[in-house]
A and B are shown apart, each in its own frame.
Chain A
Amino acid sequence: MKSAIIVFPGINRERDMAIALAQSSGQAPRMVWHKETDLSGVDLVVIPGGFSFGDYLRCGAMAAHSPVMRAVHEHVARGGYVLGVCNGFQILTEAGILPGALLRNASLRFLSMNCHLRVERSDTVFTGQYQKGQTFRAVMAHGDGNYFASDATLDRLEAENLVALRYVSPAGDVVPEANLNGSARSIAGIYSPNLRVLGLMPHPEDLVDPLMGGTDGKPLFDALAAA
């Protein structure tokens, strides 16, 4: 897949994301500045983490209205793939591409630590190289990762099997101690109805090389590269 990483002012994880994508696909992704308007020829748009626009007003609120976002909406409308990580997930909810919102962590603490994620379905382009129900380690680095949506939206996400990943204990159990940011129903990531857009708060790109302390996130990028 030809991938492009969107860079807004204040984004700081674009190079780590590029490393993860290039390592799995053998191709360097195109870096796209937020004022560009042409995403033709791109198969996968990636919105990485950071503090776009300084988190002013709300995390991702300003970025959601940047010039490049019109092209991102068009990309989504024509069935393109999108991966939004951390600030990227926040931007996708602010842009209305994914439902719900990310609130300040329930504990009010910035969480900079490992978490464990359970793969709720393994039949998507993102999770095809994991097993359904598998637990893997990922890294949290966020102050506003508390996923919120109305009960009706949460029920719909679950009924339509659009919950991608949940925070779990290392053994795979949904327990409060594993859900430190307080996300509704321990939701760490969700899909769009066509399963081509994935937003998640933790960083899979932080664990793609033994030098980083693990390769738990590598299957996600390998699956994208193989698609």
Chain B
Amino acid sequence: MVKAVVTVMLKNGVLDPQGKAIAHALGTLGFAGVNDVRAGKVIELELSETDPAKARATAEEMARRLLANTVIESFRVSVDA
């Protein structure tokens, strides 16, 4: 059994108003020096596949087809055997 973790972020150049709102809120909480914030999502996949390379390939295909909208998002996959 392999766990694959897909991290999906908006591409650079795509407006992230949620990130901006979070940055503003951090400032209001008293944190200085927050120059930029971008917010994404993490999807954890528990796969019955045991080969980490195959699991990675499957997770990448899942990301391309559903988990990320490649018009606006990029993704990275990490695999834990």
Contact surface of A with B, Cβ cutoff 8 Å: 57-58, 61, 65, 93-94, 99-101, 103-108, 146, 148-150, 182
Contact = CB atoms under 8 A, between A and B. Distances in A.
A57 B71 contact: no
A101 B66 contact: no
A79 B21 CA distance: 43
**9 pairs of A and B residues whose beta carbons are closest in the complex:** A101-B71, A101-B72, A108-B17, A101-B69, A104-B17, A108-B21, A106-B17, A58-B69, A148-B72
Contacts of A61: 66, 69
Which of B14, B15, B69 gathers the greatest number of chain A CB atoms within 10 Å? B69
Contact of B17 (A57, A101, A107): A107
A103 B66 contact: no
B71 to A, nearest CB: 4
Contact of A57 (B15, B66, B72): B66
A100 B17 contact: no
Contacts of A146: 15
Given A99-B71, A108-B17, 5 more contacts: A57-B66, A61-B69, A104-B17, A106-B17, A146-B15
5 contacts: A61-B69, A105-B17, A107-B17, A148-B72, A150-B71
Contacts of B78: none
Interface of B: 14-15, 17-18, 21, 66-67, 69, 71-72
Contacts, number: 33
B16 to A, nearest CB: 8
A70 B66 CA distance: 16
B54 to A, nearest CB: 23
B76 to A, nearest CB: 17
A104 B16 CA distance: 8
B81 to A, nearest CB: 26
A148 B17 contact: no
B47 to A, nearest CB: 18
Nearest to B70: A101
Given A61-B66, A94-B69, A148-B71, A103 B21 contact: no
Contacts of B14: 103, 148
A65 B17 contact: no
A103 B14 CA distance: 9
A104 B21 CA distance: 12
Contacts of A65: 66
A148 B15 CA distance: 9
A197 to B, nearest CB: 17
Contact of A104 (B18, B66, B67, B69): B18
